[in-house]
A = this chain, B = another copy of it.
Amino acid sequence: MTRRMKIDLSIILQKATELVDEQGLDQLSIGILAEKLEIRPPSLYNHLEGLNELKQMLAIKGVKKLNEYMLQAAVGRSGDEAIRAISQAYIQFVREHPGLYDASTRFPDSNDQELQQAQEAVVQLVLQVLDAYNLQEEIAIHMVRGLRSILHGFTSIEQMGGFGMPLDINKSFSILINTFIEGIHAVMINEDKYMQRND
């Protein structure tokens, strides 16, 4: 008789992560997960509240891991180079963990403390990177939102197979990031104008 490995929350999360990264977040179900763990579906309830809690935990894991990737990439870099590096890390994370990333953007409860904290950490990291540009505090935050939009938008569309035309996707990405960086430089030397205008 094979002594089955004792199942705990971390093992469940691990298997769930593999499942969503390989099959997609929507394929995650109590039944399939239980099957992979070689237990009966109800047994999972000894470890977690239910499917929603599981998704919430995956979301948190996803944000934290994304932050790790970006943090690694940012070490020892600054300015344009740092922006390119964290952007590359972002897309790399999404490509390696599409399900986890998806979970981190479609979670059951957005008021979750731990989730918000993890998200905040990413924002702070990017703010630090942008520090090099000496932007006004407020503009810097707008730029964080902008970069985040770019990264989330690009990776989401890539994941959904939304880039139809046969044209190098990595090139599209690097041009996008570089275009944004050029834009930051332009805005940087004209900050006041951009604080006023309204279009």
Contact = CB atoms under 8 A, between A and B. Distances in A.
A98 to B, nearest CB: 14
Interface residues of A, number: 50
A45 interface: no
A45 to B, nearest CB: 23
Given A146-B172, A179-B146, A161 B110 contact: yes
A76 interface: no
A70 to B, nearest CB: 16
A139 interface: yes
A153 B15 CA distance: 29
A172 B145 contact: yes
Secondary structure of the A contact surface, majority rule: helix
A141 interface: yes
A182 B156 CA distance: 24
Given A142-B176, A178-B183, 17 more contacts: A110-B160, A110-B161, A119-B162, A145-B154, A145-B157, A145-B172, A149-B150, A149-B154, A150-B153, A152-B157, A153-B156, A175-B194, A178-B199, A179-B180, A179-B184, A182-B183, A183-B183
24 contacts: A110-B160, A116-B164, A123-B165, A138-B167, A141-B165, A141-B172, A142-B171, A142-B172, A145-B172, A145-B176, A146-B150, A146-B176, A148-B162, A149-B153, A150-B153, A152-B157, A175-B187, A178-B199, A179-B186, A180-B183, A182-B182, A182-B187, A183-B183, A185-B186
